[in-house]
Structure 1
Amino acid sequence: MNQFKRSTGLIPPTIITIGIFCSKANHFCSCSSSLQPITEDSSGLNLNPLYNLLPNTKNPSQLVNLISSTLLNPNNRNADNIISLQEHKQNHSQLFDHLGVNEISRILLRCQSNSHAALSFFNWVKSYLCLTPNAQNYCVLIHILVWHKNFKEAMHLLSELISLNQDSSFIVFKSLLMSTDNDDCNWDPVVFDMLIKAYLKKDKVKEGFKAFRKMIKLGFSPSIIAVNYLLNGLCKMNYGDKCWEVFDEMGNTGVHPNPCTFNILTHVLCKEGNVDKVNEFLEKMEEEGFEPDIVTYNMLVDSYCKRGRLKDGIHLYKIMYIRGLIPDLITHTSLINGLCKGGNVKEAHKLFHGMVDRGIKPDHVLYNTLICGYCKEGLMREARLLLHDMIGNGISPDNFTCSKLVEGYSRQQRMLSAVNLIVELQRFKITVPSEIYDHLVTGLCKENKPFAAKSLLDRIPQGCYQISEELYEKLICSFSECNDADQALHLKNEMISKNEKPGLVIYRAIISCLCRLRRLSEAESVMKEMIHSGLLPDSEICRSFITAHCKEQNFDAAKASVCIFASEFRIFDSASYNSLIEILSEEGDMAKLVSLQEEMMKIGYKPTRLTWKHMFSGLSRATGLQQNDAMVR
């Protein structure tokens, strides 16, 4: 029995029959699915003798014979046979009404000798007749295709069958298994290997693992390729415990691992971080006759470096040379990354030069790793030289490269150097991501360098970048703070020309700037435009106007503005009110001061502590002036 198992990958037929019989007794049909599994009663492959009592126009057996003979006509191509089927459908529509899932399976079995005819018929049923084949139909055709080595189409149908049974994974396995119970159906055990792969290709790792367990339970011996496929899927999903279950089952069923198996399991151990267990496993691997290859060492070096065990990683690096394995680009990338993260970027660069001297060409990942290390250490000159080396070797910097260099300059508050870098990349015709421009413009505006930001934007090729509303706001506010009202107004008008609506922040910044520059008529014009667009002024805008009028010593205009903002916009800004009180207080005219306060209180203003302070100050000045007048007299 063991000899049969090793040669065929299956247990003896008698045991298979018992397994199938037990499977049928477990009521698998009770689970819901879009496709029904094969059952003893629903297979319909045995001819019903009562069919012979039916007239030919209603006899399903006549329909099976008609379609089968048409499909297997040696004088026609498959395309011609499909045309003939369509003609039969038109001429014998009443007979074709009796085509069901059982008849579909019988026709497919009749076409086992011609897999192309079977597949054409199956597709014709789905597309032309708009019938939905059941699981039995799918599985019969899958077995036919696998038997004829048409693995691509078989895998496609397996994936389709899995999609139709999303909520009931075991139905697919059971339907495939029950199809093998039919003596008329040719089948190959490799179909169950394909089922595992199909599940994993659709990211259904758990279902693939369940299918593997069912194969083992029924005595099937999966191929090492299918097992490795499953192990890799389980490893990616961090199902380490399931990987070792599969490995144990391999030993129980006589499936011999290969170097790929050991590398996958080594990767599992590295992800788990159990270094001692890794060493034990490698010893076992060597006992099995497998020598660790470059993939094994690369995984170990990478694992050591990621866990900060650089000495162990470098030791393995040296061991590779002793064992005749030349470290490749992946090995060096792992070590250089570990050294950079450990703050030893200069040692990493030495390793980089040694790698290049040995004829290994660095890629963009390795360049990025080293550039990132230099930027992290603040060595921007070295990072920039490495960038030039990268471009000189024909490797174009990507978004990551640009971002790390700009971030490095930003941490040192060297925004202009970052701008010069981007201008340099533009000269090399290297595409700079929009996020970099956003970052630079924002940073320059924070440093009150809007002219540099605008110059950078003007260098961008037309159509390659769109200034966002948020960025317009930052630019306009920055220009306004620098008292460049003309640039701020130009950008505001540019926004409007693009059908973008400036917000209150933009209008407030421009109005405040114009007021500081004593360009009050323009400020009033901008405020009218703002109100017309549906925005109302706030206290800050009110204060800007009052402050400007007061600086021009235009008390009447200031007072009128305070009254207008209060009556029309219900803005009662205490600072503006107190500015008027302060002016009269300094003049020492108590009659005007009291009159203003009464007038303001009628409008709705309420005195504050600062108001009373100015009032007392004015009273003191008035008293002092009266005493001086008396002394003069």
Structure 2
Amino acid sequence: MQKRVFFPLLFSSFSTSSSSSLLKIVTSSSLEITDDFLLSSFLPLSMNPSQIAMNHICSSINQQQKRSTNNTNVLLQLDLEDHLLSHVSTDDISRILLRCQSKPLSALSFFNWAKTHLPNKLMPRNYCLIIHILTWSRFFSQARTFLYEMSEKYPKFDLFDCLVDSTSGDCNWSPTVFGIIVKVFVKMGKIDEGLRVLKKMVKMEFLPTTNECNCVMSGLIKANRSAECWDVRDLMKKSRIHSDTYTFNILTNVLCKCGNVGKAKEFMEEMEVEGFNPDIVTYNTLITGFTRKGKMDEAFYLYKIMHRRGVVPDSITYTLLITGLCQNGRTAEAHRLFHQMLHREVEPDGFMYNALIVGYCNQGKLMKGKLMLQEMIQAGFLPDRFTCYMMVESYMKAGELLPCLNMLAQLRKLGVSISFEIYTSLVVSLCREGRPNAARNLQNLLILKGDDGFNLNLEIYNNLINGYCSTDFIAEALELKDEMIAQGVEPNVDSYRFLITSLCRNERSADGESLIWEMVESFKLVPDFNILQSLLNGYCKKREYLKAETFLDNLAQKFQISETRNYNILINALCEEGNLTKSIELQNKMLKLGILPNAQTCKFLISAISRTHQS
């Protein structure tokens, strides 16, 4: 067992990197010394393992310096035995770094070696020294890398305070390092830390640069904390840190988000005082913010100021104002502004025309929308998909479906791509107006051309089927049902309801029953009450009560679909005809099948009995 010896008092040097030799007093209660430590302490320097390790490391560093490589990724080639490595302390690492500070690449090479071979010996002070050395030598990228590492490895340590503390002594350092900390924190998403460091820098008179202040403001915007950018702006003004164009761009963006016209006016005055004249980009950015918030009066205030300051509005300015007016239901004003713009020889763009057309469509002014569309095409612009959709909606509301189709045909010839939603709306509207053949022709035309990505789906088929069924074109509806199945589109309950209802209404209940078995057996669809009601009423209308009863029995036996209200339809029909005996037999049959009569059943039977007694 290794013998342990305790000394009552021991003096040891604290660090050679400090400006003066400081002695640290350690009491026996806080330091335990092993025999190995005592032995090495009393050995001459040439035999001291700590000194041997230091000499070996420094020798290897010197050899690497002679090779004079400029590669920042080169690792130190050093073979040091394990028993010597154990004697290299944290302070030894600091001493070696300080010796190498005039050769930053050597210091970097040694530090990377230490990260691999002495990871447990590296402390925040070692990181601070290498960061200072690299920053002083303008190796900013490598310094940032170690700041990231230090922040993740020692999250409880204050990076700013650690770096300030390590500036004492013989280490060369530059205030630039504190600005790098700000940028590192912002990039890591630690906005509060970055802001705190910025304020500390000002307090300790390490004035941050404009770029560092801009970096914090950009981080605040990304974190949806735009209002706090004005705090940074105030800090810059108090510290007399000059703004640059990027500063004003950031603050302009902030104003766009808040839409404060008073602040915008004050801000532009500040720009002028500092020698920055707001240009067309500044005004357009601010106008964008106001129009997005619907503050059109504020946007026009800026528009007037532009003229007074000699800044000529461009097409973007007019597009923003015209679009904003149209979105706020002021299309007539937008149109007047459009004509003023033309009078001032500013070329219109497609966005203006689209905005005006949509504005008129929203107000139900189809004729004015048509005229603007014609004017737009004559000017060499084509409507976008949304504008086409709004025009089609206006045509449909006005009941002008055929003129609408003519308009779309004209637009297609001009190369306008018509969206799937527009065609769907047209097909639905034509079907609802009782024009299924026109809808079918439009569908066939689209399938043949196939240039708008138009694929028939369940919604289209159901509307076409319903359109044909509503007008009693049953053969065409059945043909569509077969077509959709062949195309891989499975019908749903609605598809069969339209068909079965139409068949039964036209006294083809047997065909309707066949479709019910098809939907149940082929597609596992459960017929709803409306479908069953249509079929049963169809049989009862033709006095085919036995077929209706047989159908109900099969439905209950094969698919366990049985409801009192289905039997009530048949019982009511029998009672209305005066066939009380058959009605009572059917009620008894319901009881045997476990189907309980309800109040409606009793009402039908009582009414039939009453009529029988009266007669």
Aligned residue among 541, 546, 556 for 1:556: 546
CA distance 1:586–1:385, shift in 2 (3 Å):
same
Could you tell which deviates more after superposition, 142-151 or 210-219?
142-151
Could you tell which deviates more after superposition, 395-404 or 239-248?
395-404
CA distance 1:410–1:525, shift in 2 (3 Å):
closer
3-state DSSP of counterpart to 2:488? helix
- AA matched with 1:492: I
Task: For residues 435-487 of structure 1, give each alpha carbon's deviation from its aligned partner in whole angstroms, at most 9, with x where no partner exists.
Answer: 66677677777777663784586367489466666777666666666641221
Shift of 1:216: 1.2
CA distance 1:320–1:502, shift in 2 (3 Å):
same
Q: Contact 1:588/1:621 (CA < 8 Å) preserved in 2?
A: yes
Aligned residue among 434, 440, 452 for 1:451: 440
Shift of 1:553: 3.7
Matches within 5 A, 1:45-194: 53=47, 59=53, 62-63=56-57, 65-66=59-60, 68-69=61-62, 71-74=64-67, 78=71, 81=74, 88=77, 94=82, 143=132, 146-147=135-136, 149=138, 164=152, 171-178=158-165, 180-181=167-168, 183-187=170-174, 189-194=175-180
2:597 equivalent to 1:606: yes
- AA matched with 2:195: F
Q: Contact 1:507/1:527 (CA < 8 Å) preserved in 2?
A: no
Aligned residue among 327, 330, 342 for 2:313: 327
Give the whole-Å Cα distance in 1 for the aligned partners of 2:510 and 2:304.
77
Q: Contact 1:228/1:261 (CA < 8 Å) preserved in 2?
A: yes
- AA matched with 2:314: D
Give the whole-Å Cα distance in 2 for the aligned partners of 1:222 and 1:388.
58
Give the whole-Å Cα distance in 2 for the aligned partners of 1:337 and 1:71.
67
- Equivalent residue number for residue 482 of structure 2: 489
2:213 equivalent to 1:227: yes
CA distance 1:530–1:171, shift in 2 (3 Å):
farther
Q: Contact 1:531/1:537 (CA < 8 Å) preserved in 2?
A: no
- AA matched with 1:222: P
Shift of 1:409: 5.6
Q: Contact 1:302/1:334 (CA < 8 Å) preserved in 2?
A: yes
List runs of 5+ in structure 2 lacking aligned partners: 1-17, 19-40
Per the normalisation by structure 2, the TM-score is: 0.69
- Equivalent residue number for residue 34 of structure 2: none
Q: Contact 2:186/2:194 (CA < 8 Å) preserved in 1?
A: yes
Give the whole-Å Cα distance in 2 for the aligned partners of 1:80 and 1:312.
57
Q: Contact 1:438/1:471 (CA < 8 Å) preserved in 2?
A: yes
Give the whole-Å Cα distance in 2 for the aligned partners of 1:524 and 1:130.
85
List runs of 5+ in structure 1 lacking aligned partners: 1-16, 18-47, 625-633
- AA matched with 2:440: F
- AA matched with 2:549: K
- Equivalent residue number for residue 339 of structure 1: 325
Give the whole-Å Cα distance in 1 for the aligned partners of 2:459 and 2:112.
55
Q: Contact 1:345/1:373 (CA < 8 Å) preserved in 2?
A: yes
The total of aligned residue pairs comes to 564
Task: For residues 120-162 of structure 1, give each alpha carbon's deviation from its aligned partner in whole angstroms, at most 9, with x where no partner exists.
Answer: 8878988x98979876676656555555555566556656766
Task: For residues 587-622 of structure 1, give each alpha carbon's deviation from its aligned partner in whole angstroms, at most 9, with x where no partner exists.
Answer: 545544544444445443526547644774587489
Shift of 1:530: 2.7
Shift of 1:228: 3.2
Identity %: 34
Give the whole-Å Cα distance in 2 for the aligned partners of 1:422 and 1:393.
19
CA distance 1:283–1:546, shift in 2 (3 Å):
closer
CA distance 1:103–1:379, shift in 2 (3 Å):
farther
- AA matched with 1:207: E
Shift of 1:493: 4.2
- AA matched with 1:554: E
Q: CA RMSD in A?
A: 5.3
Task: For residues 267-296 of structure 1, give each alpha carbon's deviation from its aligned partner in whole angstroms, at most 9, with x where no partner exists.
Answer: 656755554455455555545555444344
Give the whole-Å Cα distance in 1 for the aligned partners of 2:577 and 2:208.
103
Give the whole-Å Cα distance in 2 for the aligned partners of 1:182 and 1:396.
73
3-state DSSP of counterpart to 2:517? helix
CA distance 1:584–1:136, shift in 2 (3 Å):
same
3-state DSSP of counterpart to 1:59? helix
Shift of 1:219: 1.4
Give the whole-Å Cα distance in 2 for the aligned partners of 1:115 and 1:359.
63
Task: For residues 378-422 of structure 1, give each alpha carbon's deviation from its aligned partner in whole angstroms, at most 9, with x where no partner exists.
Answer: 345655666677788887866655665566566667777777776
Shift of 1:348: 1.9
CA distance 1:352–1:558, shift in 2 (3 Å):
same
CA distance 1:225–1:557, shift in 2 (3 Å):
same
Give the whole-Å Cα distance in 2 for the aligned partners of 1:562 and 1:240.
70
CA distance 1:596–1:241, shift in 2 (3 Å):
closer
3-state DSSP of counterpart to 1:256? coil
Aligned residue among 546, 562, 565 for 2:555: 565
- Equivalent residue number for residue 215 of structure 1: 201
Give the whole-Å Cα distance in 2 for the aligned partners of 1:391 and 1:255.
53
Task: For residues 239-258 of structure 1, give each alpha carbon's deviation from its aligned partner in whole angstroms, at most 9, with x where no partner exists.
Answer: 46633433333233232334
Give the whole-Å Cα distance in 2 for the aligned partners of 1:493 and 1:124.
72
Could you tell which deviates more after superposition, 318-327 or 525-534?
525-534
Shift of 1:319: 3.8
Give the whole-Å Cα distance in 2 for the aligned partners of 1:411 and 1:418.
11
Shift of 1:326: 1.5
Task: For residues 4-33 of structure 1, give each alpha carbon's deviation from its aligned partner in whole angstroms, at most 9, with x where no partner exists.
Answer: xxxxxxxxxxxxx9xxxxxxxxxxxxxxxx
Give the whole-Å Cα distance in 1 for the aligned partners of 2:470 and 2:81.
84
- AA matched with 2:480: Q
Per the normalisation by structure 1, the TM-score is: 0.68
Shift of 1:560: 0.8
Give the whole-Å Cα distance in 1 for the aligned partners of 2:370 and 2:429.
20
Matches within 5 A, 1:279-428: 279-280=265-266, 282-283=268-269, 286-298=272-284, 301-302=287-288, 310=296, 313-314=299-300, 316-352=302-338, 354-355=340-341, 366=352, 368-380=354-366, 383=369
Question: Relative CO higher for 1 or 2, CA cutoff 8 Å, sep ≥ 6?
Answer: 1
Give the whole-Å Cα distance in 1 for the aligned partners of 2:70 and 2:538.
93
2:196 equivalent to 1:205: no
Give the whole-Å Cα distance in 1 for the aligned partners of 2:383 and 2:83.
68
CA distance 1:455–1:294, shift in 2 (3 Å):
same
Give the whole-Å Cα distance in 1 for the aligned partners of 2:464 and 2:153.
57
- AA matched with 1:606: P
CA distance 1:587–1:470, shift in 2 (3 Å):
closer
Give the whole-Å Cα distance in 2 for the aligned partners of 1:615 and 1:505.
36
Shift of 1:562: 2.1
Give the whole-Å Cα distance in 2 for the aligned partners of 1:355 and 1:96.
83
Give the whole-Å Cα distance in 1 for the aligned partners of 2:375 and 2:433.
31
Could you tell which deviates more after superposition, 289-298 or 71-80?
71-80
CA distance 1:176–1:581, shift in 2 (3 Å):
same
